[in-house]
Amino acid sequence: MPIQVLMPALSPTMEKGNLAKWLKKEGETIKSGDVIAEIETDKATMEVEATDEGTLGKILIPEGTADVAVNTPIATILADGESAADLAKAPAPAKQEKAAESAAPAAAKAEAPKAASAPQAVAEPDPEVPAGTEMITQTIREALRDAMAEEMRRDPDVFVMGEEVAEYQGAYKVTQGLLQEFGARRVIDTPITEHGFAGVGVGAAMTGLKPVVEFMTFNFAMQAIDQIINSAAKTLYMSGGQMGCSIVFRGPNGAAARVAAQHSQDYSAWYSNVPGLKVVAPFSAADYKGLLKAAIRDPNPVIFLENEVLYGHTGEVPKLDDFVIPIGKARIVRSGSHVSIISWSNGMTYALKAADELAKDGIEAEVIDLRTLRPMDTETIINSVKKTGRAVTVEEGWAQSGVGAEIAARIMENAFDYLDAPVARVAGKDVPMPYAANLEKLALPSAAEVVEAAKAVCYR
Amino acid sequence: MAAPKKAAASSPQDKTDGGSPPEFTREQELKALRDMLLIRRFEEKAGQLYGMGAIGGFCHLYIGQEAVVVGMQMALKEGDQVITGYRDHGHMLATGMDANGVMAELTGRRGGYSKGKGGSMHMFSKEKHFYGGHGIVGAQVSLGTGLAFANNYRSNGNVSVTYFGDGAANQGQVYESFNMAELWKLPVIFVIENNRYAMGTAVSRASAQQDFSKRGVSFNIPGKQVDGMDVRAVKAAGEEAAAWCRAGKGPFILEMQTYRYRGHSMSDPAKYRTREEVEKVRHDQDPIEQVRNRLLASKVSEADLKAIDAEVRDIVNASADFAQHDPEPDASELWTDVYR
């Protein structure tokens, strides 16, 4: 029976890609290991190798086709003795089939885009964007790259360092093109040495340079957390204001997809505990851009928490010469009067989906994207809760000592008399992140849990 | 476990290159004497004030090691940075920081270099290019490599002098920094102050490779063992290392063989070594006595030396006076300097 070649998944979070090129023609003999096609993601072009032998029977997806979903049959291979007449016998693709094992790169270190499936519908206009501004559609990955490039053009003291940021163009392709524009002096590949290069960055910042230090993921920054907290966050205070450091530590934070406990952890609460640090964790593409530019200009150390799952998401980014969003301001993304849902980063995905669901049941949720965790925009939260009388926090991190716990405390301190129900928290489950797909899903928050919590505080 | 006899018994001079270091001019000898004496008298006074309860927390004295910073400082030029760990008072004075400001920081007063918010282990001076004062053992090595990175980025011809001890030399980030420093040819002199004890642990009990000048071998960083009790040897080695760095050849390691007379901190009774061992180093190798004896032999009068003594004592006494009478920081300072 003919064998189907399926569109391969090239990374943990890839959902689709472009079929760039066929390297074999129909009727050509194929040996195991032959490169048969090239697949393009928005960060890389990957070769697809055959795992079966035979003759290329039929090309099902012609080259140049964009957005081919993972697991879509792209060709059939005929075994010895089979002919084109047998093609009809090819099986329908099984959904759970593991595609193209041979083409999968080192899983933990690579990524490809995911479909822009998250609800990015924005009810409230962004006050930072002047009315009538032209918008461009960009992935978050591109927005981050543009923010860095713009700041590097503006200030020769800004440089980027980290693992694979230069020649490889970024492990997640966030620094794509920076080496070509700014050269190896300002875009620096480091050895795999997080503790050391974090310290080198802080030392350089103490002299007045403005490093942007990329961690391949914040999970690896635990090796460097001493330099981040003891050196970067505390020096200004310990020196009586004489010496501080303007530095950005950035990289993906939180759960990726199917990379298990050591690569899936949310550090929002960890860093937001520390005075001397600013902590930013945006959700929309425009915020990623405007806030990264603000972070680079900030004279203090800034932890800039990105989300790997969001890198490939697209959003509208204002086409302005210098679009900077001030650190420390939350944004009401959807207004409502029945319950306040407060989240940030990828937690917003669940919050916004839940708000859509709740609206169907007549519950109008006000959704607040915190954007910055430290300093926290308490005022926006409190004003909203005074209006709604109910609040739900949503985070991917653990509940204990989490950011949601902090928000709940601030609401209690500042708006206790306005509350009609106890604040509810939706958070990651109190376990290390499991690998199995079903368990991973259970460990993360969901829109359904947010809906349930919102209904509970509304006594519905 | 092996007894620490071998390291404890060996003299700091044993492994040093043969031959005497280049002679100092009379002016150099006098300057070295004055700068070392200032550190010693300052530290003695700090010890006293600690005993009186005027200085709190940890207080690590530099007595015995004075020739290292003073000799290195004589090898540097304006703009070269200095960074070190927590045994840092000597480094501050050697870079020219004001004794009043340092002592007042020790007593936690508003006139201290950090307005009283840093204390003994955390002081900085942008003006004197002194980058701290770091309380986490080994952290300053990556930071100092970062200072050198900045020199390289700016092509300013300056050198970062990054001090750490034989104890810190076993930290992982030291080797991460060695690797980057050599890979990127950064102008950094790693000065390992081997005073033979990491707190109470003799070098032989903690270090598989006790020749610290070889700690950069696997990164191709050249290293040298130096008699850290002879200020002339220190200066000569510092000049060699600085020239290497300024020529764009990358980092250089100097193992300074030295000795601390006092305990690790004020609360250390130093039971891990004998009184005789300390007395022998003091008697045979004291860095200040070496200079004083050479000066006397070269017909400098006792009176001239006494004048230096007096000048130094005046500075130190004034600093102690200032540090005890300067007010504590205003309560509002609690909330300042967290962000800028």
Q: Tens of pLDDT along A334-366?
A: 999 999 999 999 999 999 999 999 999 999 999
Judging contacts by C-beta atoms under 8 Å, the chain B residues touching residue A159 are: 153
B285 contacts B277 by C-beta, under 8 angstroms? no
Closest of B219, B220, B198 to residue B207, by C-alpha? B198
Which one from A194, A306, A395, A440 is the annotated catalytic residue? Answer: A194
Bond into A375 cis (ω within 30): yes
Judging contacts by C-beta atoms under 8 Å, the chain A residues touching residue B123 are: 239
Residues 265-304 of A with CB under 8 A from B: 275-276, 278, 299-300
Give the closest-approach CA distance of A214 to chain B in angstroms: 16
CB atoms within 10 A of CB B29: 20
Which segment of A23-27, A297-301, B291-295 scores lowest on mean pLDDT?
Answer: A23-27
- Count Cα atoms within 13 angstroms, Cβ side, for B19: 5
Does residue A226 sit at the B interface (CB-CB below 8 Å)? yes
Give the E-state strand segments of B97-245 in sequence order.
Answer: 160-165, 188-194, 197-198, 201-202, 223-227
Residues 139-168 of B with CB under 8 A from A: 139, 141-150, 153
Cβ B112–A203 below 8 Å, yes or no?
Answer: no
ipTM tops 0.90: yes
- Please state at what angle helix B287-297 crosses helix B66-74, rounded to 10 degrees: 60
Q: What is the pLDDT along chain B (340 residues), one digit of tens a residue?
A: 344 344 443 444 444 455 789 999 999 999 999 999 999 999 999 999 999 999 999 999 999 999 999 999 999 999 999 999 999 999 999 999 999 999 999 999 999 999 999 999 999 999 999 999 999 999 999 999 999 999 999 999 999 999 999 999 999 999 999 999 999 999 999 999 999 999 999 999 999 999 999 999 999 999 999 999 999 999 999 999 999 999 999 999 999 999 999 999 988 989 999 999 999 999 999 999 999 999 999 999 999 999 999 999 999 999 999 999 999 999 999 999 999 9
Cβ A244–B340 below 8 Å, yes or no?
Answer: yes
Residue with tokens 């909330």: B335
Which one from A15, A263, A306, A396 is the annotated catalytic residue? Answer: A263
- Which chain A residue lies closest to B122 (C-alpha atoms)? A238
Could you tell me the sign of the dihedral formed by the alpha carbons of B213, B215, B216, B220, in that order? positive
- Among the partner residues B114, B116, B149, nearest to A203 by beta-carbon distance: B149
Determine what percent of chain A falls in helix, strand and coil, rounding each to the nearest 5.
Answer: 30, 25, 45
- Among the partner residues A197, A226, A238, nearest to B118 by beta-carbon distance: A238
Q: How far apart are CA B116 and CA B109, in angstroms?
A: 5
- Which chain B residue lies closest to A237 (C-alpha atoms)? B337
**DSSP of A299-368, one letter per residue?**
SSEEEEEE-GGGTT-EEEEE--TT----TT--EEEE--SSEEEEE-TTHHHHHHHHHHHHHHTT--EEEE
Cβ B180–A191 below 8 Å, yes or no?
Answer: yes
Q: Would you state the structure tokens that stand for residue A303, as one six-digit string?
A: 């932890």
- Count Cα atoms within 13 angstroms, Cβ side, for A89: 11
Res. A36: pLDDT tops 70: yes
* Beta bridge partners of residue A40, listed in sequence order: A18, A45
- Please report which helix (H) or strand (E) contains residue A69, including its range: strand A65-69
Which of A228, A239, A247, A372 is most worth mutating to test chain B (most B CB atoms within 10 A of its CB)?
A: A239
Q: What is the pTM of this model?
A: 0.89
Q: How far apart are CA B309 and CA B311, in angstroms?
A: 6
Cβ A241–B336 below 8 Å, yes or no?
Answer: yes
Cβ B114–A240 below 8 Å, yes or no?
Answer: yes
- A194 catalytic? Reply is yes
Res. A276: pLDDT tops 50: yes
